[in-house]
Amino acid sequence: MKVAEVPFAAIDFESAGSAPGLTDEPVQIAVVHWTGEVIETHLNSYLRPSRQVTWSAKAVHGIGDELLKGAPLLVELWPQVKASLGARWVVAHGAATEKRFLRVFPFHGFGPWVDTLTLTRAVYPSLPSHALGDAIEKLGLAPQLPIAGFRWHDACSDAIATVVLLRHLIQITGIGQEPAEILTRPNLTEYFLHRREKFRLA
């Protein structure tokens, strides 16, 4: 399969926050599909944790305990998560958090995984910050984000931004016709720099 043929599903979680003696838990999940030119939200839900949201986490994403009353547990969303991620390549920006929270579903088999943080570092190693919001702003991609309802540190908004960033990285390096597995390989800085320059001069 070529890169341009891959059906992608970008996933993002927001969390209850870390604190001494407390295990971090998700409080929001979103999955956004990208196939061809179409970007669609397939899952967007608050999640009920077993503990309170920390003050520092709420200060970042604005999700407090009052918003989570009556929200489902992550395990209760298994049918929706499976339908949203199954048979697709899973994309996340800094995928460790998403992989960790998905461990609630043992042997789920989702993947292959594409980490846009790793790819951004490979294509643009000199960016002052490779955080999702910073990369979107520095690369001039903000106008491609939806205006209505978009806000950083909302799971759905961040998943959409991840797709926009991935689309840009594929376009700027001209790898649409390359084998899709190239997106999963680490340490490709020199390769992507060469591809970007070759694509720019073509």
Q: Specify the pLDDT at position 200.
A: 67
Q: Mean pLDDT for the chain?
A: 91
Cα gap 63→25, rounded to integer Å:
13
CA 148 to chain centroid: 20
Q: Per-residue pLDDT for 152 more than 90?
A: yes
Cα gap 198→187, rounded to integer Å:
19
Q: What domains does the chain contain, in order, with CATH numbers? A: 3-201 (3.30.420.10)
More confident residue, 64 or 123: 123
Closest CA to 169 of 143, 142, 139: 139
pTM value? 0.92
For the residues 20-41, what does the mean pLDDT come to? 90
Q: 11: how many CB neighbours lie within 10 A of its CB?
A: 29
How many secondary structure helices (H) and strands (E) does the chain include?
7, 5
What digits encode the pLDDT tens for the residues 155-174? 999 999 999 999 999 999 89
Q: Per-residue pLDDT for 16 more than 90?
A: no
